[in-house]
Structure 1
Amino acid sequence: MSLFACGSFRLALDRPLVMGIVNVTPDSFSDGGRFDRPVTALIHAEQLLAQGADILDIGGESTRPNAPAVSVDEELQRVLPVLRQLRALGVPLSLDTRRTAVMRAALEEGLVDLINDVSALEDDGALPLVAAANVGICLMHKQGNPDTMQQRPVYCDVVHEVGDYLARRVALCQEHGVARERLLADPGFGFGKTLEHNLALLRQLPQLADMAGVPLLIGISRKSMLGQITGETMPAQRLGASVAAALLAAQGGAAIVRVHDVQATRQALQVWQALA
């Protein structure tokens, strides 16, 4: 049985883990503005834990397609008060950020166990900073930046290119002294990919895991690719599609699924695990 080293936590990967999303932003694509104050974020986090979340992922910048950038100061003002409150819950906390300054502030206060970075630690100073910390790391692939990434993304072989990128970032982390058990990889569904690219990646998760050489974290919950398939335009109405996608990801070997709808996802995984 493999373990994921996540701060002071050692998480067993004998079953898919569920990461609950806590967006403290006013403009996230699905639930922006609902949990952007410490009190509402805490209530939401407690609900996610009661529903079966294993990890909480807190983000202060929307990285949806066409999202405007926020300043470092604004992101810090959003996430630090929430992280300080959630720390008392005694569960693994993940910080969803691509900025070195935000990572540093949270790490200096000992507020997080995992850095979940859509830029795979490419920001100046991020890699040595996080490598020296006692936290897990999730490296995600994206093509372009949120404001432009969905403008005609092109690949020759999306599975090979994404897998090769993740493998190179994993190798670079190891060169900086990061143990493999601290690392996760995320193919980055919807981050500079068409529906066809996303489906190819979902079909080939075992190959991606082999190429990356570390467990996969998969985030498809409520994303537009599901709306393209189902015709459902409202993200909050993509529950069935999101649960199906999470279950397919788990069947493809995903170690962690990042979701909005924890209870429904956990129940689906429990049924699948009972059969397995």
Structure 2
Amino acid sequence: MNIENKKQFATIALAVGLGLTAAFLMSQYVKSSIENQTKALAKDYEKKAAAQTAALRKEMEIKNRELQKQMQAMAKQQQQALAQQLANLPKGGGVKATTGVPTQIVDSTVFASITPPGKRAITLLIDSLSAVGGLVNPGDYVDILGELEIPHPQDPQEKPIEITSVLFQNVQVLAVNANFKPVGSALVYQQQQKSRALNVTLAVDPEEAGLITFAQKYGKLKLALRSPAEKETKALQVAAWDSLADYVLDKQGTELNLPKAKAPSRVENDYVEEDLQVDDTPFVEIFRGGREL
């Protein structure tokens, strides 16, 4: 290799070395610049976040103060309204509550005041299905049906006789559970239907209160909802096979052939049951226009 070629080679090598050095320095500069910009952006973001947090905190404090003022104003209005109600009540109509602040006047005769004069409020625990499927509402009027077990008239050791009858008619419903104001809301009815049992408070006469308690002890009570336009009561017979057969024959013209009763006969001071033409084969006779088909 001659001297001229060596000079050219050295020049090229020097140029390549300078280029690599420049590229390295440029990359370091770019890296440093990116890091500086990232730090600056992070500081700026932190400042903005802190400012937003402070603004939100200040706004929440303002809203809390406004809410407290509104609550105090509402409490004051309620206290004034209750005080006005107390002023309109007879003496001894209310007592002061001591369980909360601010002190309010609690009327102790709210529920008693809706009990009609001469009536007594009595509460029955009735399953939801027997309480008109949970569709009973304060202010409604109902009939009370009883499924009772009556002791055997001749031998108390025998199985009790089961009867079903309407016991009381046109009885006012004062409350259902803790609600004693008519609501008529579908949501309330749905909740009552989902409940296994309801506390139904009724307005009854003093004598009826004792009779209802006695009937519930020896049987099961059900409620039948009445129309608000219906006030009269009817003389009804006990629901039994005979009364059912008479009703079906009268309304449908269909005769239900029921087994005939057994008549007791006295033998040596003891009652012996004798069969009187008992026909246990059930059949249905159809009548139309008073004639058998």
> Normalised by the size of structure 1, how large is the TM-score?
0.19
TM-score normalised by structure 2 residue count: 0.18
Quick check: which has more Rg, 1 or 2?
2
